[in-house]
Chains A and B, each alone.
Chain A
């Protein structure tokens, strides 16, 4: 073919592709993919990577999702029942419609693991080190689990006949069935953690000599007392002992009318327990208003559903044999309750004191270099007491007294014990910037109200210790997981890829995300503006 026939018209140059025109040179800003800290992860006291396991659950890979929880927390099924869900309080979806039911998905995964018999294997080689954990509650068992994962030989001692600590002896079974506790503890034991029950530790010095490190987590089992003038035959019991006795098979005699003094979660637990034990009238007497009650909303709500009555702004000033004398209170401008001098009587066969618990510090008292202040053991950022090699966590150190916090203490202690043993310091990974609501482009999220968990009828609830709250089905759990907005982390919605006017985004395939083709990216910022999850930022002056 001649040159002339190739160019029938008066054209002197071949037509080329615009690919030769590197429009990236126009750019003054550069988009960058990043991972921000999702608020759920940020709020989790156990340090779970919530968004990561939700993302795995979204794909329907429940086992991988469960394993991701297990990397931080050995009690998903327990968590899914008793955790007070700081993750859901922090969830950005709450601003849009309702928070993602993180806790209900976690419970589904935990239950699924028990049904399917999933377990975690230990990959670390034996370290040759031995640890003693004192206290088989959530904190101690969490520490034991994480230490075992790192190849250490772990012994857990507890003076109770069964393991679980407050999970067993403090939380009623209608909230946390015992077979769930048993299954999750058994999994830790199966990993090789040695459990020595009914074995009180009395000599800490000896233990410290015998083991390379000791983690102390005996909890707060001592009910705080109040001096209430009482008649000779008045029946006054403390809430913690009552719940523990019940667990040990001793049914307390409370009578038909029970007054519970206090406003925390234990007060709710014990009032609801009283209803189940046959009390026709359970009244919570609390000094302040509902807004100022330390009990969590869910529990107050469920207690009210079950017919528990509340007497706000009231104190018990005298307990007789079948009635108590109550004084009305008023809140002063600082919110502190003040007496009013107005009294009334309330029928009550017994009074249960739920005024908080004190840490059991007898073991530490003998150690000269361990400090006790404000009723708790003082620990440093590594969870170590003033005594080298003695770590402490859970309810006996400062912090909110919940199972999740205790589990988080156990993990933190385990990491630090592991580092300390090798003479190192555990370095916590740097926290990325928070993925706050204003970072998101919420237009893209479909309207999807939260899935609610089924609840037992009130009639069944108050006549048995059956579990009150049911679980989600696999289908519901999938829906709920998929409500997650993946705040601050790419969810592969293809918006950047599809909305780039310059085709300057390269799609790398499932799970691989995207790359910016800087030869052609003009830096318009559409990808960042239209990213639903706020996983792209624009950097100025850096190419």
Chain B
């Protein structure tokens, strides 16, 4: 396992920390002195997965770079809830731009820093799945193709949640959105991690907010490389997924444990490590708590759609080897 699996006995490596653990081995989020890159008072919804994901990633990046990082943020939930003028929740250098050009601007910032000889300052691009998977994909592909020295992080909540839960290219098959009220019947959602791998960039990884140590590890690991890097983080959205605000972590965990969201790491376009599923669960366990899939469980239930999603999960488990024993 890439993540340092620490035996806490009581809570394993699954909890944020543990009082019995030596402070040096605690997660960034367990540290009372963490950066709090995204501080309180932001206007994200109750139980927002993206607010969590962004803080985890930026705090870990700050620790990994000795507080020398600047972030570029596409339009989207993260930008809107964190910076309604004149307030800002960011406690790191932060730059906002358009919906579709975050990778391009991040590239520009990296180039500007290089021109100024500031090799110590690193650049992190951030965006939601709308700004990344759909609108910004061309810029992102260009950034990958040129191998610009940027870590780009996509917070995937499966839709345009900021503007009222419209369907995006990352919305899973069968999910209800305001633009697909009967359930989305398109493909299976676009996998930008696989697209990124096809560019043979140095580092690609996926993670969820349910496995904090894994996410922190990947944010920090990404900073060990130069060139284009891509981190795709699953961040459940209580509003768009129609889940209770206290279920955010649980559904992210279920996405991982059912195989719906494979968690892996790839170097130069090759999968090098996966996070094995601890206890494989059927996809209905993941679908049932979410209101966006409620129509699948009517009378009669939509076995065809559920079956398709199960096949997809099974394929993920098979292709990525998600049931391999923990190494």
Using a CB–CB cutoff of 8 Å, the interface residues on chain A facing chain B are 13-23, 26, 58-59, 443-448, 479, 482-486, 491-495, 497-499, 501-504, 507, 509-511, 517, 519-520, 522-526, 528-530, 532, 538
Q: Is the CB of B245 within 8 A of A504?
A: no
Counting CB contacts under 8 A, is B117 at the interface? no
CB under 8 Å from chain A, chain B span 1-57: 7-20, 26-27, 29-30, 32, 36, 38-44, 46-49, 51-52, 55
Interface hub of A14, A479, A501 (most chain B Cβ within 10 A): A501
- Bound-state CA distance A19–B253 (Å) is 31
Please pick, from B8, B36, B88, B250, the residue contacting A15 in the complex, using a CB distance under 8 A. Answer: B88
Counting CB contacts under 8 A, is B205 at the interface? no
Q: Is the CB of B9 within 8 A of A482?
A: yes
Shortest distance in angstroms between A56's beta carbon and chain B's nearest beta carbon?
A: 12
- Bound-state CA distance A493–B26 (Å) is 10
Chain A residues with CB below 8 A from B8, complex form: 446, 482, 493
Q: Is the CB of A520 within 8 A of B15?
A: no
Stretch at the interface among B62-70, B79-87, B128-136, B291-299: B79-87
Please pick, from B20, B32, B86, the residue contacting A482 in the complex, using a CB distance under 8 A. Answer: B20
Chain A residues with CB below 8 A from B27, complex form: 494, 498
Q: Is the CB of B19 within 8 A of A16?
A: no
Q: Which residue of B lies closest to A510 (CB)?
A: B19
Q: Which 10 A-B pairs have the closest CB atoms?
A: A446-B12, A498-B16, A525-B246, A494-B17, A18-B41, A482-B9, A498-B29, A524-B47, A492-B19, A524-B46
Q: Is the CB of A498 within 8 A of B46?
A: no
Chain B residues with CB below 8 A from A444, complex form: 11-12, 14-15
Known A495-B15, A498-B16, A532-B11; contact A17-B245, beta-carbon cutoff 8 A:
no
- Bound-state CA distance A525–B249 (Å) is 11
Shortest distance in angstroms between B163's beta carbon and chain A's nearest beta carbon?
A: 20
Q: Is the CB of A483 within 8 A of B10?
A: yes
CB under 8 Å from chain A, chain B span 108-139: none
Known A494-B18, A494-B29, A497-B30; contact A502-B40, beta-carbon cutoff 8 A:
yes
- Bound-state CA distance A20–B52 (Å) is 20
- Bound-state CA distance A510–B9 (Å) is 19
- Bound-state CA distance A18–B250 (Å) is 28
Known A58-B20, A495-B16; contact A448-B9, beta-carbon cutoff 8 A:
yes
| Cβ contacts A to B, 28 pairs, < 8 Å | A16-B88, A17-B39, A17-B41, A17-B87, A18-B41, A18-B82, A19-B41, A21-B87, A443-B14, A445-B12, A479-B9, A485-B10, A491-B10, A491-B19, A494-B16, A497-B29, A497-B32, A499-B16, A501-B248, A502-B42, A503-B40, A503-B55, A520-B41, A524-B48, A525-B47, A526-B248, A529-B247, A529-B250
Q: Which residue of B lies closest to A528 (CB)?
A: B246
Q: Is the CB of B16 within 8 A of A23?
A: no
Chain B residues with CB below 8 A from A520, complex form: 40-41
Chain A residues with CB below 8 A from B36, complex form: 503
Q: Which residue of A lies closest to B90 (CB)?
A: A18
Counting CB contacts under 8 A, is B89 at the interface? yes
Chain A residues with CB below 8 A from B19, complex form: 491-493, 510-511
Chain A residues with CB below 8 A from B14, complex form: 443-446
Chain A residues with CB below 8 A from B245, complex form: 524-526
Q: Is the CB of A517 within 8 A of B15?
A: no
Q: Is the CB of B40 within 8 A of A20?
A: no
Chain B residues with CB below 8 A from A58, complex form: 10, 20
- Bound-state CA distance A499–B212 (Å) is 9
Q: Which residue of B lies closest to A496 (CB)?
A: B16
- Bound-state CA distance A330–B87 (Å) is 82
Chain A residues with CB below 8 A from B55, complex form: 501, 503
Q: Is the CB of B10 within 8 A of A501?
A: no
Known A444-B14, A493-B10; contact A529-B246, beta-carbon cutoff 8 A:
yes
Chain A residues with CB below 8 A from B7, complex form: 446, 448
Q: Is the CB of A494 within 8 A of B88?
A: no
- Bound-state CA distance A19–B39 (Å) is 8
Known A17-B39, A58-B20, A59-B20; contact A530-B249, beta-carbon cutoff 8 A:
yes
Known A17-B88, A497-B30; contact A443-B253, beta-carbon cutoff 8 A:
yes
Shortest distance in angstroms between A37's beta carbon and chain B's nearest beta carbon?
A: 19
| 14 further interface pairs, Cβ-Cβ under 8 Å (given A16-B88, A498-B30) | A16-B87, A17-B41, A18-B40, A18-B87, A23-B41, A23-B43, A443-B253, A482-B8, A491-B11, A492-B18, A501-B52, A524-B46, A524-B47, A529-B246
Counting CB contacts under 8 A, is B244 at the interface? yes
Chain A residues with CB below 8 A from B11, complex form: 444-446, 491, 493, 532
- Bound-state CA distance A333–B89 (Å) is 72
Chain A residues with CB below 8 A from B26, complex form: 494
- Bound-state CA distance A518–B312 (Å) is 43
Q: Is the CB of A23 within 8 A of B86?
A: no
Shortest distance in angstroms between A111's beta carbon and chain B's nearest beta carbon?
A: 22
Q: Which residue of B lies closest to A531 (CB)?
A: B15
Shortest distance in angstroms between B220's beta carbon and chain A's nearest beta carbon?
A: 16
Q: Which residue of A lies closest to B6 (CB)?
A: A446
- Bound-state CA distance A507–B32 (Å) is 6
Q: Is the CB of B10 within 8 A of A14?
A: no
- Bound-state CA distance A21–B30 (Å) is 25
Interface hub of B36, B40, B55 (most chain A Cβ within 10 A): B40
Please pick, from B17, B29, B47, B89, the residue contacting A18 in the complex, using a CB distance under 8 A. Answer: B89
Q: Is the CB of B39 within 8 A of A503?
A: yes
Q: Which residue of A lies closest to B39 (CB)?
A: A503
Shortest distance in angstroms between B248's beta carbon and chain A's nearest beta carbon?
A: 6
Known A446-B10, A507-B32, A530-B249; contact A498-B212, beta-carbon cutoff 8 A:
yes
- Bound-state CA distance A26–B20 (Å) is 35
- Bound-state CA distance A504–B13 (Å) is 23
Interface hub of B15, B39, B44, B55 (most chain A Cβ within 10 A): B15
Chain B residues with CB below 8 A from A482, complex form: 8-10, 20
Q: Is the CB of B9 within 8 A of A18?
A: no
Chain B residues with CB below 8 A from A23, complex form: 40-43
Shortest distance in angstroms between A25's beta carbon and chain B's nearest beta carbon?
A: 11
Chain B residues with CB below 8 A from A510, complex form: 19
- Bound-state CA distance A501–B55 (Å) is 8
